[in-house]
Structure 1
Amino acid sequence: MSILARYLNKQFFKFLGICHLVFVFLYLIIHFFDRVDNFAESHVAVGKMAAFFVSQIPLIAAQMLPPATLIAMIITFSFMERDNETIALRSCGISIIGLCKPVLAASCVLALFLFCLSEFVVPFASTFSNRIWRGDVQGQGHRNALTKTHTWYRGSQCIYNVPFFDNEKKLMLHPSLYFLDSSFSLQKKIDAGKAVWTGDGWELFNAIVLAADPSGGYSLKRHDTLRLTLPEPPEIFIMERREPEEMNLWELKAFAQAMQDEGYEANRYFVDFHIKIAFPFILIVFSLMAPPVALWKRRFSTPLAVCAGAGVCFTYILVLGISRAAGIAGVMPPVLSAWLANGIFSMLGIYLLIIKNR
């Protein structure tokens, strides 16, 4: 690594550390005051409340790393421009593009770090924090055990296994109900094609009932429809739906594919799957945008450059939000909706670099 690369990376990572800590702290403070009333009303213990906010830090850190990277790069190059270091370097034959290579390499390393953080740490931390929020704050209980695509729920009369639940239609798809006695021996098992909430219970369609008989064996019966008076309402299964941030890349893809195979609308999950892949590349995109923004005008002060960087962040979020909504609505393919913002801002950054390098 050259002396220039070491100097640039040292300055960049110094400002990145400061910016990232400030952004995470501010986000956490706002998040705390937004949620603290809910914890107080639910009489949640202070230790559990602290655990909730601590477990939110990985997700917040992942979300704040791209804007912190952009602002840190802008400050780095803006300070170099202020101290006439860029003029000295260009007089030595180092172009703006050559000046950007060390931070571009650093952004690639950060992108790998962000991918690992989002893939291996955030899902577990988000699942833990959401369990506290749903169970202790919203009072939805802790009796559900979530796996990749199935929800297990211990009700008052039986144990539910629900592979998929349609929130809008309030129906279970391919549920299995297990009825156990006091010694946890299986007394009856019901498999159905679907189950629809009737207001006071569930109506099962294409049900197969496996029931224990007095002789110690089991009998099998088929029912086109079967009504069961069970107290568990559909809200129990709606509230325990896993969010995309609670799943890693492969779990989210498997979930989306399974939803699609069962005939359900899965665009949202496919879009979020591709966004998970595209998300770390934001750092590389911002590393292309930061130098021309910081060096655009000779007397472009650091505060103005930082404001311009904030504008770039908000514009990026706006474009990503619009393209994501279009992908979910089926207007554009999920891959395109996830990568559109990266593509637009990458081309814009390269164009500005070429213009500034002249």
Structure 2
Amino acid sequence: MKLLDRYLFIQFCKHLLLVLASLVSIYLLVNFFERLDNFLEAGKSAGLLARFLLLKIPLMCEQLLPVGLLLAGIITLGLLNHHHELLALTAAGIPVTRITRPLLGGAVVVTLLFLASSQWLLPPTAATTNRIWFEEVKQEIPRGIERNGKTFFRGEAGIYAFSRPDPHLNSFRAFSYTAWNEKFEAMLVLFAQQAEFGPDGWSFTSGQIKRRKPTGGYEVKNFEHLTMPLPEEPANFFRPENRQGELSLSQLYHNAMSGQGRAGREAWLTFHQRLSYLLLGLPLLLLGLPMLLLAHRKLGHDLTLAIPISSGLAFAAWGWWSASQ
């Protein structure tokens, strides 16, 4: 049995590599012609475009994993049936469920590898491709970064730091703003437990403001409510949503656990989207293999009917998954 398991496992992995290589090649070709004009208009080299496409491969493989697992299982079992190997195994008293066990085991192993890739490999490659596309090609230079749920933003005259529980509301917590002069001396230091931005501008609650005196030193004033203008508005805080793809699974889980209200729900949604999509290939394979056997027994077809059916099943499952999000 160990020899049979090893043989089926190797065949499954070979067919999975073949399927992923074929689909990724098509994916790369489409991306090449789609992005070529943008790179040429930005005056970027062909080497940068090649690097961009190569670094996109981990993301492409992750997006194609469910379909790849399904097609690899269908092709492996279909070829066994086509070459009468499946008939010989069943005639020897080996049940079909026992034959499909190495295929399912291989799918589990590959899924675990892709989970590890999503944790350690995908975040740095996604960060590099986003930097190339948004900063070097699209010329969108982000001035804000996010660390441990807090945003730091470099404005024209100072630095902002705050947490934003709900990205759709202009309400901020633990808000601070520090303005500097040409000598990098702090001219204004503002801290507030709560900050709001509305039609009348910025308003702050429960904080402290420090202004530098012309003679040196600082004038310190505590306040309960304060309204004053600042150089930037929340619309200037450039935090592109594509940065979500740069986060690992553990970082997404941490954001979901630490988030509150609507932000917490959206963080959980993003985490569940990534995780459920990576695991989608296993139920697809469990559905696809019986359909192959049914097509052979009832209609006398092997791969000629099983592959179109499995492809339709994959699209139906993808549509159901997208709608369920």
Which residue in the other structure is 1:189 paired with? 189
Q: Over aligned residue pairs, what C-alpha RMSD do you find?
A: 2.5
Matching residue's letter, 2:81: E
Task: Please list the CA deviations of residues 261-286 of structure 1 after superposition, one character each: whole Å capped at 9, or x if unmatched.
Answer: xx434323212212333333333323
| Cα deviation, residue 163, structure 1 | 2.3
Q: Which residue of 2 aligns with 1:329?
A: none
Q: Within 1, Cα distance between the matches of 2:15 and 2:161?
A: 50
Give the distance between the partners of 2:234 and 2:133, measured in 1 at CA: 19
Q: After TM superposition, list the pairs within 5 Å mapping 1:197-346 onto structure 2.
A: 198=199, 202-206=201-205, 207-213=207-213, 214-217=215-218, 219-222=220-223, 224-230=225-231, 232-241=232-241, 243-260=243-260, 263-298=261-296, 299-324=300-325
Q: SS of the counterpart of 1:295?
A: helix
Q: Which moved more, 1:75-84 or 1:153-162?
A: 153-162
Mapped contact 2:202–2:229 kept (Cα < 8 A): yes
CA contact (8 A) 2:295 2:306 kept: no
Q: How does 1:1-358 map to 2 (within 5 A)?
A: 2-164=2-164, 167-170=167-170, 172-192=172-192, 193-196=194-197, 198=199, 202-206=201-205, 207-213=207-213, 214-217=215-218, 219-222=220-223, 224-230=225-231, 232-241=232-241, 243-260=243-260, 263-298=261-296, 299-324=300-325
Provide the rounded CA distance (Å) in 1 between the counterparts of 2:183 and 2:86: 78
The 1:36–1:61 alpha-carbon spacing in structure 2 relative to 1, beyond 3 Å, is: same
Residue 47 (structure 1) shift: 3.8
Q: Structure 1 length as normaliser, TM-score?
A: 0.80
Give the corresponding residue for 1:328. none
Partners of 1:63 and 1:236 in 2: how far apart?
A: 32
Q: Helix, strand or coil for the counterpart of 1:190?
A: strand
Q: Are the equivalent residues in 1 in contact too, given 2:70–2:310 (CA < 8 A)? A: yes
Q: Which sections of structure 1, spanning at least 5 residues, go unmatched?
A: 325-358
Identity %: 25
CA–CA distance in structure 2, aligned partners of residues 238 and 172 of structure 1? 15
Offset at 1:80? 1.1
- Write the distance in 1 (CA, Å) between the matches of 2:96 and 2:107: 17
Give the partner amino acid of 2:60. I
Contact 2:69 2:281 in 1 (8 A): yes
Against the structure 1 CA distance between its residues 233 and 316, is the aligned structure 2 distance closer, same or farther, given a 3 Å change threshold? Answer: same
Go from structure 1 to structure 2 and tell me whether the alpha carbon gap of 1:235 and 1:139 turns closer, same or farther (over 3 Å shift). farther
1:247 Cα offset (Å): 1.3
Equivalent residue letter for 2:188: K
Question: Equivalent residue for 1:347?
Answer: none
Whole-Å Cα distance in 2 between the matches of residues 171 and 238 of structure 1? 16
After TM superposition, give the deviation of residue 198 of structure 1 in Å: 4.9
Q: Could you list the runs of 5+ residues in structure 2 that have no partner in the other structure?
A: none
Q: Which moved more, 1:20-29 or 1:291-300?
A: 291-300
Residue 72 of structure 1, CA deviation? 1.1
Change in Cα spacing, 1:309 to 1:236, as seen in structure 2 (3 Å) is farther
| Aligned partner letter, 1:284 | L
| Matched residue type, 2:84 | N
Distance in 1 of aligned mates of 2:72 and 2:148: 38
Secondary structure at the aligned position of 2:204 is classed as: strand
How far did residue 241 of structure 1 move?
4.2
For 1:320 and 1:274, the matched residues in 2 are separated by: 11
Q: Deviations over 1:285-310 (max 9, x none)?
A: 23322321222222223132111111
CA 1:20/1:81 → structure 2, altered by over 3 Å: closer, same or farther?
same
Equivalent position SS for 2:56: helix
Task: Tell me the SS of whatever aligns to 1:128.
Answer: helix
- For 2:223 and 2:82, how far apart are their aligned partners in 1? 80
Relative to structure 2, which stretch is displaced further, 43-52 or 23-32?
A: 43-52
Aligned partners of 2:33 and 2:48: how far apart in 1? 16
* Deviation at residue 137 of structure 1 after TM alignment: 3.0
Provide the secondary structure at the position in 2 that maps to 1:211. Answer: strand
Deviation of 1:167 after TM superposition, in Å, equals 4.9
Per-residue CA distance 1:40-93 (angstroms, 9 max, x = gap): 333344444333323222111111122111101101111111112111111111
Instruction: Provide the rounded CA distance (Å) in 1 between the counterparts of 2:276 and 2:2.
Output: 30
Does the CA-based 8 Å contact 1:73-1:291 persist in structure 2? yes
TM-score normalised by L of structure 2: 0.87
Q: Contact 1:197 / 1:234 at 8 angstroms: preserved in 2?
A: no
